[in-house]
Structure 1
Amino acid sequence: MQDTAWLTSRAIAHRGLHDMNRQRWENTLSAFAAAVERGYAIECDVHRAADGVPVVFHDEELKRLTGREGRVWQHTAAELTGLSVGGTEDHIPSLSEMLALVDGRVPVIVELKGVAGHDQGLAEGVLECLADYPGETALMSFDHWILRDLDRLGGNLPIGLTAHGRSMADMEAHFSMLAHGISFASYCVDDLPNPFVSFLRERLSIPVITWTVRNEAGVERTFRYADQMTFEGFSP
């Protein structure tokens, strides 16, 4: 199992230290620079562009963040990085561009966003970007097929399951992923506690971070039932 002690050592800025998309928008170089300045770890989201390049962007569709129609996987990285985010001077960054900015100064947790039928090579592309990266990094995803790809491809990076839910079906699905190299979990704070998270922490000594904490109640719930928080909208 990979070293994950660093994963819980500091609060994690959700999509960088943005200001809820008023002036400093999520998943932008400005948000990442602000997180580095404050010493927070960074969570970011990555999609595969049409030419296979990983780009930092949360949604499958472009509309909410760029005002443009279309989907990320329909455009090349050059086209995407030419788009303004929120009408600001920030553009959609490539993963390589984001990593060059952070340069190992704070930990980075990359969430891989799968799009069924349009994400072949995403795991490989992300691992290639990280091959010579000097800083602490981890990978995670909601998408089980992405996690199986990461497990198959090997490497020494921690791999995490991003998850939510409390139902029996949710628990069964989450437990099934323990066979695929999971070394941490990122769990919805509103769905704590639950048997899966308790089993990870108490029986397997696997750390759990939470998403997304926006108030004191979320902070309190995190540190009662998990190990560290992914936060936005305030500064811990």
Structure 2
Amino acid sequence: MTDLSWLTAQPIAHRGYHDMNKTVWENTLSAFERAISAGYAIECDLQYTADSVPVVFHDGDMHRLCGVEGDVRAKTAGELGLFSIGGTSDRVPTLSQLLRLVKGRVPLVIELKGRQGDDEGFAEAVLDGLEGYAGPVALMSFDHWLLKDLKALETTLPIGLTAEGARPEDLALHADAMSLGLDFISYYYGHLPNPFITAQRAKGCAILTWTVRDAEAEAHSYAEADQITFEGFVPAGRAIA
């Protein structure tokens, strides 16, 4: 197994260290700077634009975060950069803007949000954007076709499965994904323990959990996994920035 001690060394701020979208919104440069100041790793999401640029945004639709109707994938990166996030001064950032801000100061755990049948070039665009970046980065996705694309491009970056579920059919699908030669797993904490994760841990696979929002979920996660992805509270032993 690849040495991923850096990936599990510190709690990971889910979509940056936001304040549950009160004044500091998720997946914004402000949330990422706040995470850096607090010493947390950063988890964030990437969508793919009409002009083939990876942008940091979770939803496929713009309504919840920007207050307007529209498909993110129907917009160019330049158009998205004009939209306010939550009425704040933050705009939808590109992957390049994220990397320029972080500059390797904390690890990045980046999730690709796929859309089946509409992801041609997405994995390659992400890897091209990361070329030459000196900081620690891991990539992950729920979407098996994107994981296959990333592995086919022979990247040396760690690639992980984002997953949930406790039914045997769920676990079988996850085991199939791991046959691609993935390096880590980010799993929903409420579906732990389960035989799939137990077997992967026995093999030395790094396990993260999502999304931890209180001390009880934190304690459960550390009993079953190596590190947490959190939001909405301060993990044990950490001070608010």
Question: TM class, shorter-chain normalised?
Answer: over 0.9
User: Is the partner of 2:7 in helix, strand or coil?
Assistant: helix
Alignment-derived partner of residue 75 in structure 1: 75
In the TM superposition, what is the alpha-carbon distance from 1:117 to its structure 2 partner? 2.4
Cα deviation for residue 109 of structure 1 reads: 0.5
Structure 1 runs (4+) deviating above 2 angstroms are: none
Alpha-carbon distance in 1 for matches of 2:42, 2:14: 7
Task: Tell me, in whole angstroms, the C-alpha distance in 2 between the residues paired with 1:177 and 1:116.
Answer: 16
Letter in 1 for 2:66: T
Amino acid in structure 1 at the alignment position of 2:37:
E
TM-score normalised to structure 2 length: 0.96
Which SS does the other structure have where 2:20 is aligned?
coil
Separation (CA, whole Å) in 2 of partners of 1:15 and 1:150: 22
Which has the larger share of helix? 1
> What is aligned with 1:228?
227
Task: Tell me the residue number matched to 1:91.
Answer: 91
Structure-2 separation of matches of 1:152 and 1:3: 21
- Gaps spanning 5+ residues in structure 2: where? 236-241
The aligned runs of 1:195-234 (5 Å cut-off) are 195-202=195-202, 204-234=203-233
Q: Which SS does the other structure have where 1:65 is aligned?
A: helix
Per-residue CA deviations over 1:57-101 (Å, capped at 9, x if unaligned) read 000001000011111110000001111000100000001101110
Counterpart AA for 1:162: T
Secondary structure of 1:187's counterpart equals strand
CA shift at 1:156, angstroms? 0.8
Equivalent positions of 1:39-118 (< 5 A) are: 39-118=39-118
Count of residue correspondences: 235
Following superposition, the deviation at residue 121 of structure 1 comes to 1.0
- CA shift digits 1:176-208 (9 cap, x unpaired): 012212100000011000111111111x10010
Q: Percent identity between the aligned chains?
A: 53
Q: Distance in 2 between matches of 1:181 and 1:149?
A: 12
Contact 1:62 1:71 in 2 (8 A): yes
The letter for the 2-side match of 1:91 is R
* 5+ residue gaps, structure 1: none
CA-based RMSD of the aligned residues comes to 0.7
1:2-59 Cα offsets, whole Å, 9 max, x none, are 3311110000000000000000000000000000001100000001000100000000
| Alignment-derived partner of residue 152 in structure 1 | 152
Q: CA shift at 1:115, angstroms?
A: 1.0
